[in-house]
Amino acid sequence: MDSRPRGTDAPAGAAAKGDAEITRPRNDKRGYRRVVLPNALECLLVSDPDTDKAAASMNVSVGYFCDPEGLPGLAHFLEHMLFYASEKYPTEDDYSKYIAEHGGSTNAFTSREHTNFFFDVNNDSLDDALDRFAQFFIKPLMSPDATLREVNAVDSENKKNLLSDLWRMNQLQKHICSERHPYHKFSTGNRDTLLVNPNKDGLDTLDELIKFYNSHYSANLMQLVVYGKESLDNLQTLVENKFSDVRNTGRERFSFHGHPCSSEHLQILVKAVPIKEGHTLRILWPITPNIQHYKEGPCNYVSHLVGHEGEGSLFYVLKNLGWAMSLGAWEGDWSYEFSFFSVVIRLTDVGNEHMEDIIGLLFRYIALLQTSGTHKWIFDELLAIHETGFHYRDKNPPMYYVVDISSNMQIFPPKDWLIGSSVPSKFSPDAIQSILNDLTPDNVRIFWESKKFEGQTNLTEPWYGTSYSVEAVTPSIIQKWVNKAPMAVDLHVPKPNIFIPSDLSLKNVEEKGNFPFMLRKTLFSRVWYKPDTMFFTPKAYVKMDFQCPLSCSSPESTVLTDMFTRLLMDYLNDFAYDAQVAGLYYTVRPNDTGFQITMVGYNDKMRALMDTVIGKIAEFEVKFDRFAVIKETIIKEYENFKFRQPYEQALYYCSLILEEQTWAWDEKLAAVCHIEANDLQNFLPHLLGKTFIECYFAGNMQPSEAEGVVQHVEDTLFNAPISFCKALSPSQHLAKRIVKLEKGLRYYYPALCLNHQDEKNSSLLHYIQIHQDDLKQNVLLELLILVAKQPAFHQLRSVEQLGYITMLRQRNDSGVRGLQFIIQSTVKDPSNMDARVEAFLKMFEEILYQMPNEEFKSNVKSLIDMKLEKYKNIREESAFFWKEISEGTLNFDRKEAEVALLRDLNKEELIEFFNNHVKVNAPQKKILSIQVYGGLHSSEYERTVHDEPQPHSYQITDISSFRRSRPLYSSFKGGVGQMKL
C-alpha cells in the first residue's frame, strides 16, 4: 500500500470538492479547487481570469519501475504511443495537430514512478483540446504499423543519448545496485528491448503495450490539473464531462520497498571513463528520503551547508587550493522509499591528482557539521529565503505550472500541492542530525570519472558501454585520507547572509507606460527605463551591455574577453554567492560586442551588488592561480566541443557561415593554448579603453535610482582620477551583420561529425533565408511555420521515421529571418534527408493550396492570440524589450503592429509568400544546407564532397572565404544616434 500522506477520497457517485485547504502565495489571485471524480480521478482546477493560455497535465502514477521483465523501456514506449490516435479521434496525429494549430505545444515524460502528459493551448480551444487529451486515458488506438514506426523513434532517442556523459553516468550508478530493485533498470528502451528480443521470446510488442496500459492506467492512480480562464464551476463541468469515463480498475499503486543498495554496493570507489575531457567526483550516500520529513527539510539545510560557496565553505577551500572548478550538493534520485545525498565536484587537472585529499576534506567538513550541532539561525535564514521566494514567486507559463502541481499531487496532501517541500517550516535538530549521521564512510559510494582511466578498467556497463572498475574503500582508508588532507585550511559554517531582502515594499513611480523610454544619454552610456505596470512585485531587472570593439576583433581577443568575465565572476563568488541564495541573480558574460552584466531579483540589495561588481571591474587584477584554472576550464570546453550532438554542430556551422565576425572553435582553442596571465593583464586596459554602455532598467525601481546607478558606473570607470576607460566614438560602434545569400541558389556545406565515436548519428540543417525584419513579412513567415510545423513533424518523424530530433522553426539572426528544418537521423544520410525535406515541401503545397478559408482564419486567430499573450514575469518582458534595444530596431509596439497586419491578412497573401520564398524552385528562394555526416555515412560524405554540384548549387568549402565573398544585410544598429549602417 502507498504510505504517503494523502487527501480524503471522494464519496461514491459524486464529485467531491474542497477548495479552502490549499496553501497559496500571498500575491496569487488565482482560484483553486480540488475535485475527486466518481471514478476516483483526483483533479485540481485553477481559474486565472488574466491568463492568455490554458493548460492541462495528467500525472499517471506508473513509471519505468513497473516495466515487465524482459521489456525494458515499455512504460516510456507507451508514453510515445498514446499520442498517435484514439477511438474517438482515429486520424493519426489529430491531437498534436489540433494543439499546434491553436497556439499550443504538447509533450510528456516518463520517470521512475510516474508518467506525465501535458499541453498548453489558446484559451478558447481548451474544450476541444481536453476532449482529445482525455482519450489518451479512455480509449487510445495503437496500431501495429504505428507501433513498428514508433519503436524507431524510441531507438533514435536512445542513440542520441549513448554518447552523453550525463546519461552514461546516471545508468552506471543504477547498474551498480541490486538487480532485484527496479532502480537497476534501463529506462529508455531501444529497438532490441522493445522489438527484437521480445519477438525472439515469442512476445508481441503491441499486445504487451495494451496489457501494460490496461493493467496500470487506472483513474485512481491519476492526478489531473486543468488551468484556464473560465470560472471554477465551468472548469469543473468541463473536467467531469471529459474525464468521468476514464476507467478505474481499483489498482493499488505499486510501491517498491527497500533501498537499491545493499552492503556490497557501499564502501566502493568506481573509476569510470567519460566521453568528454574533464574529471568529476560524485560522492553518494543512501539516506532517509527528505520527503518523509519535508516540513522539517533536513536535506535543504544539509545541502545548503555542504554546497555553500562562500568563505569557509568546502568549495572555497578547494577553489583556493586550485583543485575544484565547481561543487554542488543535493538530494537526488529520491522516492518515498529511498534516496541518495550527492556531492558532485568538477576537478581541475591538479585536483584530479589530489582525489584522496578532496575526499578527506569533504569528510572533515561533514564531521565539523556533525559535531558542531545544528544552528537555528541558519534554519531561520533559509526559512526567510524560501518563504519570500514562495510568496513572491514569478508567474510561470501555465504548462510548466500544471506539470509541477500534478507531480506534487502524487506526493503531497492537497494543502501542500502548490508549496510542496519548498518551504520547510519546522526546525528539527534531530531530523537534520539524522541526515548528517548518514553521511559516513560506512555507506559511501564514490564515482570518479576521468579519461585518465582509459586502459585501466575491466568492466563495461551493458546499456551505454561505459568502461569502469570497482574497488573497495573501507572506513579505515577514508580515515587515512582525512588525516593526510591539508590541515592549514579554515573550514567553518557560513556567516549571516547580508543579501536577504528586508524591504519588500513597492516603489511609487509617477511614470506610467507600456514601453521603455530613454531616460538618460551621455558620451559613455545610454539608459532605457521601463516602469513596472504589470507585475507589482519587489523585483527589478537590470542589463548593462559594455560595447567594446576590441572584444571580438580576433580569436585571441574573444578568448581574453571570455577569460576576463569568468575571472570576474570567480572573484565575486566568495562575496556574492549569498546574493544568489537570497534570490538576487547576477551574471557577467561575454557577447558579440563585448560583455554584459545582468541582474534580476529582489531590488532591495541590488544597488550594493552592482556597486561591488563595478568596483571589481575598476580594480581588476589577474590572479595567476585562478587564471590557470579558468584557462584549463576554457581549453576543456573547446576540446569537448566535438562531443556536441550532430544537430548542435549543424547549428554552429550555420551561425559561423551567416555571422560576419565570428571565430571557429578550433581557432579559439589554438588561441587560448598560448595565452598567459600577463596577456590578460595587458589586454584589459585596451578592452575598456573604448567603451559604450547600453543600459536597461525595469521593475520596482524609480528613475532616479536607475540614473544614480549609471552615474556611479560612469564616475567609477570613466571619471576617476586614474581611468583607462574612454568614450567610444560614433564610428566605432559595433553592429552584428549577416551574410545575404543569393536568390535562386542552394548553398551546401558538408562536414564530418567532429566526434569520430559517433558512428550512428548524422544531421541536417536545411535553412531558407527570406527577409530582413519587416512586419508584414514577419507575420507571413510565422503564420507559414504555424501551419507547416505539425505536418512536417508528422511526415518526417512519425511517418518516415527519419529521427527522434525533427524540428521546423523560425530562425532569426540579428533581424534576418528565415525558416529551418533540423533533423538528426541514424537511418538516412544528410543529403538524403535534404531530399526528404524538399519532398515534404512539395507535399505541403497541396495542404496549403487546399486549406479551407475557415482553417486559415483559425490559424490567423491562433497566431494573434499567441502575440497578444501577456508576459508572465519581468524576465519575459525584459527579454522582449532588450532584444529591440540590442538589435537597434526599437519597435517596442511590434506585437500590436503585427497583430493589426494579421487581422487584414488573406490566404492568397500567404500562398504568394510561400510560392516566392519557400516552394521548391521558387524564384526568390535562398537555401543553405548544413550537412553533418556521422561515421555510418562517411562514404556518402566523400561522394557529396567530390561530386560536381548540381545546377544552381554551390558547395561551401572554406567558410571564411565564403563570408568575405558575400554581401551583408545592413544593420539597424548604428552609433549612439542609431544611424543605419
Alpha carbon 633 to its chain's center = 22
pLDDT digits (tens, 9 = 90+) for 423-432: 999 999 999 9
Place of cell 524538399: 838
Give CA–CA dist 445/464, Å, rounded: 20
Give CA–CA dist 210/310, Å, rounded: 54
Q: Which of 709, 715, 685, 686 is nearest to 697 (CA)?
A: 709
Enumerate the domain spans of the chain.
Answer: 29-244, 263-398+419-484, 517-732, 738-969
pLDDT digits (tens, 9 = 90+) for 110-127: 999 999 999 999 999 999
pLDDT of residue 6: 31
CA dihedral defined by 666, 553, 672, 559, rounded to 10 degrees? -100
What number is the average pLDDT over the span 887-911?
Answer: 96
Architecture field, domain 263-398+419-484? 2-Layer Sandwich (3.30)
Look up the CATH number of domain 517-732. Answer: 3.30.830.10
How far are the Cα atoms of 297, 424, 834 from residue 431, in angstroms, in the given order?
8, 12, 59
Give CA–CA dist 344/349, Å, rounded: 16
Please check the confidence at residue 1 and state whether its pLDDT lies above 80. no
Contact 239, 226 (CB under 8 A): yes
Confidence label for 208 from pLDDT (cuts 50, 70 and 90):
very high
Helix H, strand E, coil C: the string for 899-916 is: HHHHHCCCHHHHHHHHHH
Strands 459-460 and 539-547: unpaired
pLDDT digits (tens, 9 = 90+) for 621-673: 999 999 999 999 999 999 999 999 999 999 999 999 999 989 999 999 999 99
| Mean of per-residue pLDDT scores for the chain | 94
pLDDT digits (tens, 9 = 90+) for 337-349: 999 999 999 999 9
Question: Please, what's the largest Cα pairwise distance for the chain?
Answer: 85
Helices (H), 674-731: 677-687, 703-717
What number is the average pLDDT over the span 826-840?
Answer: 96
Angle between helices 830-849 and 775-793 (to 10 degrees): 110
Give CA–CA dist 862/785, Å, rounded: 12
Helices (H), 292-419: 298-306, 314-320, 349-352, 355-371, 376-391, 398-409
pLDDT of residue 976: 42
Confidence label for 193 from pLDDT (cuts 50, 70 and 90):
very high
DSSP secondary structure code for residue 747 in this structure? E
pLDDT digits (tens, 9 = 90+) for 928-966: 999 999 999 999 999 999 999 989 999 999 999 999 999
pLDDT of residue 14: 44
- SS3 assignment, position 584: strand
Q: Return the top range by mean pLDDT from 4-13, 714-723, 745-754, 946-955.
A: 745-754
pLDDT digits (tens, 9 = 90+) for 692-725: 999 999 999 999 999 999 999 999 999 888 788 8
Which residues touch 560 (CB under 8 Å, ≥6 apart)?
675, 679, 680, 683, 687
Contact 548, 595 (CB under 8 A): yes
DSSP secondary structure code for residue 661 in this structure? S
Alpha carbon 169 to its chain's center = 20
Q: Which of 230, 191, 304 is nearest to 582 (CA)?
A: 304
Alpha carbon 576 to its chain's center = 24
Contact 698, 516 (CB under 8 A): yes
Please check the confidence at residue 511 and state whether its pLDDT lies above 80. no
Give CA–CA dist 53/151, Å, rounded: 33
- SS3 assignment, position 176: coil
Task: Give the pTM.
Answer: 0.93
Contact 312, 389 (CB under 8 A): no
Q: Which of 340-354, 834-848, 967-981 has the lowest mean pLDDT?
A: 967-981
Please check the confidence at residue 178 and state whether its pLDDT lies above 70. yes
Strands 816-825 and 762-772: antiparallel
Nine-digit cell string for 490 = 579554515
Strands 324-332 and 805-813: unpaired
Counting every residue written for the chain, the total comes to 981
Contact 2, 252 (CB under 8 A): yes
Gyration radius from the chain CA atoms = 29
- CATH class as words, domain 738-969: alpha beta
Please check the confidence at residue 620 and state whether its pLDDT lies above 80. yes
Please check the confidence at residue 448 and state whether its pLDDT lies above 90. yes
DSSP secondary structure code for residue 751 in this structure? E
Q: Return the top range by mean pLDDT from 8-17, 204-213, 756-765.
A: 204-213
pLDDT of residue 17: 59
Helix H, strand E, coil C: the string for 3-18 is: CCCCCCCCCCCCCEEE
Give CA–CA dist 755/960, Å, rounded: 22
Nine-digit cell string for 748 = 551546401
Cross-strand partners of 227 = 46, 55
Confidence label for 412 from pLDDT (cuts 50, 70 and 90):
very high
- SS3 assignment, position 43: strand
- SS3 assignment, position 37: coil
Give CA–CA dist 837/802, Å, rounded: 11
Contact 834, 929 (CB under 8 A): yes
Strands 745-752 and 953-955: parallel
Q: pLDDT > 70: what percent of the chain?
A: 97
Please check the confidence at residue 776 and state whether its pLDDT lies above 80. yes
Give CA–CA dist 247/2, Å, rounded: 20
Confidence label for 980 from pLDDT (cuts 50, 70 and 90):
very low
What number is the average pLDDT over the span 294-317?
Answer: 97
What number is the average pLDDT over the span 888-906?
Answer: 96
**The CATH number fitting domain 29-244, selected from 3.40.50.720, 3.40.50.2000, 3.30.465.10, 3.30.830.10:** 3.30.830.10
Please check the confidence at residue 788 and state whether its pLDDT lies above 90. yes
Strands 445-450 and 268-272: parallel
Task: List residues with catalytic annotation.
Answer: 79, 150
Shared fold status for 263-398+419-484 and 517-732: yes
pLDDT digits (tens, 9 = 90+) for 366-388: 999 999 999 999 999 999 999 99
Contact 114, 63 (CB under 8 A): yes
φ and ψ at residue 154, rounded to 5 degrees: -65, -40
- SS3 assignment, position 235: helix
pLDDT digits (tens, 9 = 90+) for 81-111: 999 999 999 999 999 999 999 999 999 999 9
Contact 551, 687 (CB under 8 A): yes
Which residues touch 197 (CB under 8 Å, ≥6 apart)?
70
